[in-house]
Structure 1
Amino acid sequence: MKRRNSIWMIILVVLMTISLIGCGTTQSNLENKEAPKPTDKVTIGFSISTLNNPFFVTLKEGAEKAATEAGAELLVVDARDNTAKQISDIEDLIQKKVSVILINPTDSAAVVSAVESANKANIPVITVDRASNGGTVVSHIASDNVKGGSMAADYILKTLGNKGNLVELQGIAGTSAARDRGQGFHNVVDGKDGVKVVASQPADFDRAKGLKVMENILQGNKDIKAVFAHNDEMALGALSAIQAAGKSDIMVVGFDATDDAVKAVKEGKMAATVAQKPDLIGKTSLETALKVANGEKVDSSIPVELELVTK
């Protein structure tokens, strides 16, 4: 009987040992198993009007660099100058529940519905370079386009001695950039004795259209002294038309200071361009978005300095 009891005691000890080992192994596995870690990475959406323009490519790169340095995720979508696509792109960003949406509008009026959709989803909106005509926007980040247009006009009139026939190539109708640059230009030139704007036509911020529009203007106007284009792409297109027509005495002033335009200025082909510093606009936009995502208050308007680039 004693022997039998001893055997049962040994079996019981063995079973308890196995049980304890099993419990210890389970606990160890639970401790060693990596639990999912909550992420604090901020995701910013950025809808850009077009990446077929060097200015906006540089702007995007400035934002991307700032996002990488901050450890944030940046989702960039290209509207390709198509308003319907931009609205759809913004709706997609809303569905992805990004923290903040940066918008560079293709059309300041048409983008309002997309801004309002983001408002309803409680996603803060920041406009970049071009403003929205409606909806709630936390901050607008851009150069002072009115001031830039005036800088271009002042330079042209000073160079021409406050006299001569001028041409204005307008950007995309409905964009705040085109409206404001045109306003700044006309604030200076309108009403000046001896100064006349003989043509003011849209070329949609596009180089090929700038070329074509300028060709048509040259056919109808024989005594043009200067051209102000709302961006460098149109200015470079106009420059090609002027060179083809053998009118090297016509001065051309652009806006944006893209690499091609600055090169043309240095070579003496373009007279000047207003520098917006798109990389700084992109950087500032991303940094502002991160502040908003963190609940910080930001200014409703954040200007980025301008400068006139001449030879």
Structure 2
Amino acid sequence: MGTAFVACHRADDHQIRVTIVTKAMDSEFWQALRAGAEDAAKAHPEVGLSVLAPTREINIDQQVNILEDQILKGVSALAVAPSGVAEILPVLDKAHSRNIPVITVDTDIDWPHKLSYVGTDNRLGGKLAGEYIVKRLNGKGKVALIHGIPGVQTHEDRKNGFLDAIKAAPGIQLVAQQPANSERELALTVMENILTSNPDLDAVFITSDQMALGALEAIDAHHLIDRIITVGFDAGKEALQAVREGRLDAVVAQNPYKMGQEAFLAALKAAKGEPVAERIDTGTRLIDRSNVAMK
């Protein structure tokens, strides 16, 4: 069973019980999402909120177990950031069969019964990163891509948006594309391997902060911080500080706090049988040293 992170209310003591299941709770991103949900729930003392997560994003089986348990407990509504597709769909079908409304948050999924997706336009975010790198390289250079767990829609969209941007620049050569499963230590190793095979690398896009910070450690160890353009995704505090220091060139910013707020509110509406917007865009933009002070 995955580690449970329970939010500000005891869900079992309330008539309406909302559960948000994230992919993990080991990064600023997920902690901010939880905080947003908790703060939104404070205005609704009649609602019980639980925020639960597996110990690592790669532990999809733990997320499945958490969802199974919440369905058995008969929660009023679920908001889920799916860690996998094939593994998660059967349990979501089970929720639907028991008339438990399901919202997806952060990561969308192709499932006909979801009521709403709350999150970022990830493909646009990836495109912004790619366009930034193309511009910085004046349309010519060797680039790499480090992404999250293969098949997870969030990272697939960021990856594909990035590829859209660099395909529009014939002088850009993609020399490496590898997963690091949204884990900092694995990203360090992956970046080391990429640098060993491509010592003349010009830029790298990494599809989450955790992986970007790990990749930076490898780049720094090779004394290449000033030469390799590095772009991350999420805009947590540590990544923004790295942008201020000039170690990370740019980061695509999300708003996980708002995601948490909106996911809770959408799930609450669904639990009450009220209409919910099919898509709730929580915004995205690119931050570099020119505008990081405004963040």
Gaps of 5+ in 1: 1-38
Query: Shift in Å at residue 125 of structure 1?
Result: 0.3
CA distance in 1, matches of 2:101, 2:195: 47
1:261 corresponds, among 231, 239, 255, to 239
CA distance in 2, matches of 1:276, 1:108: 23
Gaps of 5+ in 2: 1-12, 290-295
CA distance in 2, matches of 1:266, 1:41: 47
Residue 184 of structure 2 is aligned to residue 207 of structure 1: yes
Runs of 4+ deviating beyond 6 Å: none
Residue 52 of structure 2 is aligned to residue 77 of structure 1: yes
**2:142 maps to amino acid:** N
CA distance in 2, matches of 1:79, 1:134: 22
CA distance in 1, matches of 2:79, 2:278: 14
CA distance in 2, matches of 1:189, 1:211: 24
CA distance in 1, matches of 2:187, 2:27: 14
Contact kept in structure 2, 1:112 and 1:133, CA below 8 Å: no
SS at match of 2:113: coil
Residue 27 of structure 2 is aligned to residue 42 of structure 1: no
User: Which position in structure 2 is the counterpart of 1:125?
Assistant: 102
Name which of structure 1's ranges 180-189 and 65-74 shifts more when overlaid on structure 2: 65-74
* Superposed counterparts of 1:112-261, under 5 Å: 112-134=89-111, 136-248=113-225, 249-261=227-239
Contact kept in structure 2, 1:108 and 1:130, CA below 8 Å: no
SS at match of 2:158: helix
SS at match of 1:173: coil
CA distance in 1, matches of 2:264, 2:221: 42
* Superposed counterparts of 1:46-125, under 5 Å: 46-71=20-45, 72-80=47-55, 81=57, 82-125=59-102
Task: Compare CA radii of gyration and give the structure with the larger one.
Answer: 1
TM-score (norm 1): 0.85
RCO higher in 1 or 2 (8 Å CA, sep ≥ 6)? 2
Residue 274 of structure 2 is aligned to residue 296 of structure 1: yes
**2:196 maps to amino acid:** Q
Deviations 1:77-102 (A, max 9, x none): 21232111111111111122111011
User: Which position in structure 1 is the counterpart of 2:4?
Assistant: none
User: Which position in structure 1 is the counterpart of 2:293?
Assistant: none
TM-score (norm 2): 0.89
CA distance in 2, matches of 1:181, 1:134: 20
Query: Shift in Å at residue 132 of structure 1?
Result: 2.5
Contact kept in structure 1, 2:77 and 2:101, CA below 8 Å: yes
RMSD of Structure 2 on Structure 1 (CA): 1.3
Contact kept in structure 2, 1:145 and 1:181, CA below 8 Å: yes
Contact kept in structure 2, 1:118 and 1:125, CA below 8 Å: yes
Provide the identity percentage.
37
Name which of structure 1's ranges 297-306 and 147-156 shifts more when overlaid on structure 2: 297-306
SS at match of 1:69: coil
Deviations 1:2-46 (A, max 9, x none): xxxxxxxxxxxxxxxxxxxxxxxxxxxxxxxxxxxxx97421011
CA distance in 1, matches of 2:86, 2:138: 38
**1:283 maps to amino acid:** Q
**2:268 maps to amino acid:** L
Give the total of aligned pairs.
273
CA distance in 1, matches of 2:178, 2:237: 25
**2:151 maps to amino acid:** G
